[in-house]
Amino acid sequence: MFNSILIDSGAANSFIGKRFSHKYSLTISEPPENIPAIVLDFLESPSLLVTYKTRYMVELPYFPSFEPDVLAIDTPKGEDLIFNFNFLNHINTSTS
């Protein structure tokens, strides 16, 4: 189902690509407030305002399923999902 997943240890949040969320008709909603985000390798627009969020059931081979809160953005290189380092807690992986 996923074409690409990026694990970004420096990301404060996890993200889902808007294109991916529309392709699979995910219900997206507005967060309580707009969240500023800085994308360091996005040359055209290094900062953006996150205006949508959703939850998505993630199923990866060999790992338990989990449903994180993700922010919907136009991902820099068309990634389907960008996980921050905390996603490892969802799949019971030791990070120490």
13-61: per-residue pLDDT in tens?
Answer: 888 888 888 888 888 777 767 666 666 555 555 555 566 677 777 777 7
Comparing CA positions, the residue from 32, 60, 49, 36 lying closest to residue 68 is: 60
Nearest of 25, 18, 34 to residue 74 by alpha carbon: 18
The pLDDT score that the predictor gives to residue 40 is: 57
Output the pLDDT for position 28. Answer: 78
In a domain, 10, yes or no: yes
For the chain, how many structural domains are there in total? 1
- pLDDT score recorded for residue 26: 81
3 inside domain: yes
| 53 in a structural domain | no
Q: What's the predicted TM-score (pTM) here?
A: 0.68
Residue 21: what are its φ and ψ, rounded to 5°?
-65, -35
Q: Is 67 inside any structural domain? A: no
57 falls within a domain: no
Residue of 45, 81, 79, 41 lying closest to 60 (CA atoms): 81
CB contact at 8 A, 55 and 39: no
